[in-house]
Structure 1
């Protein structure tokens, strides 16, 4: 199974267009992806770009968990959609990221695209560089999250 892997710096042109890295274009072909949905991440100062098929799976999961006749859940549902946009690549392999979304992550000129499995995170280059974790902290986090599970039964 193909996934999006790697991180790439891209420049945003004056119209808000950015070129998708060739590695991600190859993954798109392998995954049969023609269009994306982009939205602001719920927890981090980045945007999340996902194949439309992944968006549909996420929507199925959310719909199964909420009651639209509950005021709080209905508000969450509306806010979740707020700012989401469908993205298509043009003939030159560029995608137009809505300015209002780029403003939410304070991204003026340079963007870092990070492949994270079936999604691509879009970060302001400055924010992404500040957010880097030390190798020791990553090792501790891996131990906490992954080390507690036993790979062996018995």
Structure 2
């Protein structure tokens, strides 16, 4: 399984094409990289990029919680769930063409940021220094997770 870490900036051209950072292509290694799955991340209003294997595992985990054959609400939820994803081809140079609907959803126009999130890659607007979190705020968040909020 590929592990992604680090942040890289890139540019999306006017046709919605962007090249995956070489570090992420290298992390995918021997995996067949014909397709990736792009997800509309509804929690963070950005896009997440998954390898097909990682995406399929996530779908199996989600489907195991549902009974769409007998529960109409589960059927509707499954339909809504799959509307968040699209398979896109990966060119030999690592270029992917993201559908306009997905770019518009995440507000992606030209300058973008790839962020490795262990098993996926987050694609969002380029983060300026003013939008970044201070070291103090970051450490406070870590303390909250550790239960040390003092």
- TM-score, with normalisation over the residues of structure 1? 0.85
Q: How far did 1:9 drift?
A: 1.0
For the structure 1 residues 133 and 51, does the alpha-carbon distance in structure 2 shift closer, same or farther, using more than 3 Å as the test?
same
Which residue of structure 2 aligns with residue 66 of structure 1? Answer: 66
Q: How far did 1:101 drift?
A: 0.1
Structure 2, unaligned runs of 5 or more:
none
Taking only aligned residues, the RMSD between alpha carbons, in angstroms, comes to 1.9
Which residue of structure 1 aligns with residue 119 of structure 2? Answer: 118
Question: 2-side partners of 1:7 and 1:81: how far apart?
Answer: 27
Q: How far did 1:92 drift?
A: 2.5
Question: 1-side partners of 2:74 and 2:13: how far apart?
Answer: 38
Q: How far did 1:72 drift?
A: 2.5
Which residue of structure 2 aligns with residue 28 of structure 1? Answer: 28
- TM-score, with normalisation over the residues of structure 2? 0.87
Q: How far did 1:2 drift?
A: 4.8
Which residue of structure 1 aligns with residue 92 of structure 2? Answer: 91
Q: How far did 1:88 drift?
A: 2.4
Asked whether the 8 Å contact 2:37–2:55 carries over to 1, the reply is: yes
Structure 1, unaligned runs of 5 or more:
150-154
More helix by share: 1
What SS does structure 2 have at the residue aligned with 1:117? Answer: coil
1:1-154 to structure 2, matched below 5 A, reads 2-29=2-29, 32-34=31-33, 35-68=35-68, 69-125=70-126, 128-129=127-128, 131-145=131-145, 147-148=146-147
Question: 1-side partners of 2:63 and 2:122: how far apart?
Answer: 24
Question: 2-side partners of 1:42 and 1:93: how far apart?
Answer: 25
